[in-house]
Amino acid sequence: MASEVVATGQVAGHHALPAQIDADVVARELVATTMGASRRFKAIAWTLGILSIAGIVALVLKWIDQSDDSTRWGYVAALVTFLLSVTGGAPMVAMAPVFAKANWVRPVTRIAAMFSFAGVVTVIMLIPLVALLPPLVTEGARRRTIWFEAPDYSPHFWSTLGLVLLLFTGLALFYSAAIPDFASMRDHSTGWRQRWGKKLARGWVGTNAQWRTLRMRIGMFGTFYFLILVFVNFLITTDFGQSLVPGWRDAIFPMYHTISSLQAGVAGVVVALWAARRYMHLEKYVHVDAFWSLGRLLFALTLLWVYFFYSSFIVFWWGRSATDIATLDLLIKGPMMYVFIAGMLLIWFVPWWILIWNKVRRSVNGMAIGAAVILVGVLLDRIRIFVPAWSVPSDQIHERWLTKIPGTVYPDLFDILIMAGGISLAVLIIMLMTRVIPVLSVWQVQEFNLLAKPIKYMRGHATLIAKPD
Amino acid sequence: MSTRSMLGLFQEPEPAADAMDGLKEAGFELGSFDVLTGVPYPEGAFGEHVPQHRLFRFPVFGAIIGFTLAIFLTAVTQLAYPVVTGGKPILSLFAMLIIMYEMTMLAAVISSVVGIIFESRLPNMKPGIYDPRITEGWIGVVVTFDDDSRIADAESVFNKAGALEIKHAS
């Protein structure tokens, strides 16, 4: 077993561990967070529920009213890609630092994995887009896509399958790590939670073999999840973005989308962790150290955004061919220029200047503000990309490049309700999951306490962390 | 002769590790006793028997099967429809490699999922003797034996190690 000494407490107070909490207290207190709900929780849940229903009704009405005009569906496409970014990227926080043997991430993994459930909303919102996506052979000719000589409805089938596969892999990842906590629910909860805990714990008693296979399952589903996430980002961005715009060919764009998806995912986890810590009174379990570590990750991803954006942009800007100019006119200078500027400021510039300060990264509220700004920035970024892409009339699909840049498409009432409803439904699902299983993993919080010990190191204080795997 | 189980409950890990040592010294077979915990202690922390897992076999066999099927698929289809393209041989290895790689990986992935389900031994239909306090941080040492005369030996080991409670099941 290896170990490491993290930092001296005298210099960096955020590393200092709070008092160790007994395992029975951890189990009782975290299981208790699932029971009952405050009036504030209920009020928020009802509001989100009403907005969700309004959003789904608006989606149906929009389909009845506008299903003959694909150019009006850009905001739904932007919502799908935004939700894919946040709910798809967040579970990566539940595994990537674990693979790197980070101890700080243990209390964070559950809330990150819970985002997988919100992937259901992405699948629901994708349904009308799949129906509106033109087949590969349109008006007697094959349109330019990544699907050479494939059957006509390949993008429809494979993109949907990819998204559904991502959803199920995310759920498998969540469930793999949740089995010991379902056993805790079985042992310490009451009523339906106890009954479900018993069913879902599948006879978990905590033998050595069970713990070992648990680690294997997390590792395996984590690896699959990452592979599928990149693949789905590639499919959705090319099929529901690039392939709709004549002349837009960008090999970096799928990776740009994936990186900003990871950025949005980490930002989503930070905001969710902040809310859970504050409103569920989990201060003694969610330490500032977790925010500090997530802050460094978020800062790095924020810098990566500008790297990927610039790598993509410079090819078009320097190329100056008719297709390059048309693509830049559509996506950057054209109908969504102000949204692009606002998005760039909020996804990169503002968070960069917020997160660059150590003081902010060591604070809980500062990190939450930085992360919330990023989420708004990612939403604007998706709007500036996918609304113009979907606004290209279908009769131009065979052109070599866009000769006429479409005008700005403003959201109508349906779009506003759908976007508000979709985001509300995603948040509501995560909130409801906190009623089923503790928002912080009981066994991982216990493991965190087991492996980290505050020690006196020479003339200072430090945290000794065991690295058993 | 019926199989009996006994569970010794400990609040601290050190006495539980002593009990595991004691069971070994008392002649109980490796594999007949195990430790139950609510937290994943590092492997071997209690001196427990760590059996070799067989998970790695699943992707290996899966990959071999996938690779074999891929050779069969690509060879048979090309021989069944022998179209010469650009003067290349009918069985063109470079064209076949792509399918062979994809099918090998696919079969390895699917068999890994099957393997992890199999190795997990879940659902555990007979969880055996257990105590809910284990998910509160208590540590259980469970021993299984056929010979009733060993009850006293196991009890003695548990008591000597400082078990706070001993549970029996048959």
Domain ranges of chain A: 25-453
Contact B137 A216 (CB under 8 A): no
DSSP for A269-323, written as a single string: HHHHHHHHHHHTT-TTTS-HHHHHHHHHHHHHHHHHHHHHHHHHHHHHHHH--HH
Instruction: Sort out which chain A residues have CB atoms less than 8 A from B123's CB and list them.
Output: 202-203
Pairwise CA distance, residues A426 & A432, whole Å? 10
Whether the CB of A312 is below 8 Å from some CB of chain B: the reply is no
Contact B130 A205 (CB under 8 A): yes
Contact A203 B125 (CB under 8 A): yes
Pairwise CA distance, residues A275 & A278, whole Å? 5
- Name the 3-class secondary structure at A61: helix
Cross-chain CB nearest to A202 (options B43, B123, B137): B123
User: Average pLDDT, stretch A281-306?
Assistant: 90
CB contact residues (below 8 A), chain B span 17-56, against chain A: 34-43, 48, 50-51, 53, 55
pLDDT band, residue A287 (cuts 50/70/90) = confident
Instruction: Sort out which chain A residues have CB atoms less than 8 A from B20's CB and list them.
Output: none
Judged against a pLDDT cut of 50, whether residue A457 lies above it is answered with yes
Instruction: Sort out which chain A residues have CB atoms less than 8 A from B43's CB and list them.
Output: 208, 212, 468
Judged against a pLDDT cut of 90, whether residue B62 lies above it is answered with yes
Instruction: Sort out which chain A residues have CB atoms less than 8 A from B109's CB and list them.
Output: 224
pLDDT band, residue A406 (cuts 50/70/90) = very high
Pairwise CA distance, residues A182 & A199, whole Å? 8
Whether the CB of B159 is below 8 Å from some CB of chain A: the reply is no
Tokens 């020479």 appear where?
A458
Minimal CA separation from B83 to chain A, in Å:
18
User: How crowded is the C-beta side of A356, counted as CA atoms within 13 Å?
Assistant: 7
Identify residue B121 by its one-letter amino acid code.
R
Judged against a pLDDT cut of 60, whether residue A392 lies above it is answered with yes
Q: And the tokens for A38? A: 């405050």
Q: Do A349 and A426 form a contact (C-beta atoms < 8 A)? A: no
- Name the 3-class secondary structure at A201: helix
Question: Which helix (H) or strand (E) segment is A462 a member of?
Answer: strand A460-467
- Specify whether B116 is located in the same domain as B67: yes
CB contact residues (below 8 A), chain B span 59-98, against chain A: none
pLDDT in the model for residue B84: 82
- Specify whether B71 is located in the same domain as B106: yes
Of the residues A179, A199, A207, A231, the best mutation for testing chain B's interface (the one with the most B CB atoms within 10 Å of its CB) is A207
> Is B61 inside any structural domain?
yes
Instruction: Sort out which chain A residues have CB atoms less than 8 A from B133's CB and list them.
Output: 24, 187
> Is B49 inside any structural domain?
no
CA distances, A350 to each of A211, A274, A377, B76 (Å): 43, 20, 9, 60
pLDDT in the model for residue A341: 96
Q: What is the pLDDT of residues B79-131, one digit of tens each?
A: 898 888 888 888 888 888 999 999 999 999 899 888 888 777 667 767 688 88
- Cα angle A158, A164, A170 (rounded to 5 degrees) comes to 130
pTM for this prediction: 0.89
Q: What is the pLDDT of residues A425-446, one digit of tens each?
A: 999 999 999 999 999 999 988 8
pLDDT in the model for residue B1: 54
> Is B44 inside any structural domain?
no
pLDDT band, residue A324 (cuts 50/70/90) = very high
According to DSSP H, which parts of chain B are helical? Answer: 13-25, 57-80, 93-120, 151-161
pLDDT in the model for residue A17: 59
Whether the CB of A29 is below 8 Å from some CB of chain B: the reply is no
Judged against a pLDDT cut of 70, whether residue A18 lies above it is answered with no
From first CA to last CA, the distance across chain B in angstroms is 11
Task: Give me chain A's average pLDDT, please.
Answer: 89
Whether the CB of B121 is below 8 Å from some CB of chain A: the reply is yes
Decide which of A7 and A75 is more confident. A75
Pairwise CA distance, residues A419 & A438, whole Å? 29
Q: And the tokens for B128? A: 């055996």
Judged against a pLDDT cut of 60, whether residue A390 lies above it is answered with yes
Q: Do A428 and A50 form a contact (C-beta atoms < 8 A)? A: no
Identify residue A209 by its one-letter amino acid code.
A
Closest CA to A458 of A8, A3, A6: A8
Judged against a pLDDT cut of 60, whether residue A14 lies above it is answered with no
Pairwise CA distance, residues A223 & A376, whole Å? 29
CB contact residues (below 8 A), chain A span 51-70, against chain B: none
Judged against a pLDDT cut of 80, whether residue A19 lies above it is answered with no
Nearest CA in chain B to A183: B135
User: How crowded is the C-beta side of A359, counted as CA atoms within 13 Å?
Assistant: 1
User: Average pLDDT, stretch A230-253?
Assistant: 93
pLDDT band, residue A10 (cuts 50/70/90) = very low
Contact B37 A215 (CB under 8 A): no
- Name the 3-class secondary structure at A142: strand
Judged against a pLDDT cut of 80, whether residue A467 lies above it is answered with no
What total number of domains does chain B contain? 2
DSSP for B26-54, written as a single string: TTPPTTSEEEE-SS-PPTTTT----PPP-
- Specify whether B64 is located in the same domain as B107: yes
User: Average pLDDT, stretch A400-422?
Assistant: 93
> Is B129 inside any structural domain?
no
- Cα angle A238, A239, A240 (rounded to 5 degrees) comes to 100
Pairwise CA distance, residues A17 & B93, whole Å? 59
Contact A446 B116 (CB under 8 A): no
Pairwise CA distance, residues A68 & A87, whole Å? 30
Give the E-state strand segments of A309-459 in sequence order. Answer: 452-457
Cis peptide bond upstream of B89, omega within 30 = no
> Is B125 inside any structural domain?
no
Q: What percent of chain B has pLDDT above 90? A: 26
Pairwise CA distance, residues A183 & A334, whole Å? 56
Pairwise CA distance, residues A414 & A305, whole Å? 31
pLDDT in the model for residue A217: 87
ipTM score of the complex? 0.82
Tokens 């999840």 appear where?
A225
pLDDT in the model for residue A11: 45
The whole domain housing B110 covers 57-120
Q: Do A45 and A427 form a contact (C-beta atoms < 8 A)? A: no
Contact B55 A216 (CB under 8 A): yes
pLDDT in the model for residue A4: 58
Q: What is the pLDDT of residues A136-184, one digit of tens each?
A: 888 888 888 888 888 889 999 999 999 999 999 999 999 999 999 999 9
Instruction: Sort out which chain B residues have CB atoms less than 8 A from A186's CB and list them.
Output: 132
Find the range with the poorest average confidence among A18-27, A323-332, B133-142: A18-27
Contact A207 B130 (CB under 8 A): no
Chain length of chain B:
170
Pairwise CA distance, residues A228 & B32, whole Å? 41
Contact A220 B119 (CB under 8 A): no
Judged against a pLDDT cut of 70, whether residue A464 lies above it is answered with yes
- Name the 3-class secondary structure at A465: strand
CA distances, A393 to each of A244, A316, A404, B96 (Å): 9, 22, 10, 41
Judged against a pLDDT cut of 80, whether residue A64 lies above it is answered with yes
Q: What percent of chain A has pLDDT above 90? A: 61
- Dihedral (Cα; A137, A142, A144, A147), 10-degree rounding: 70
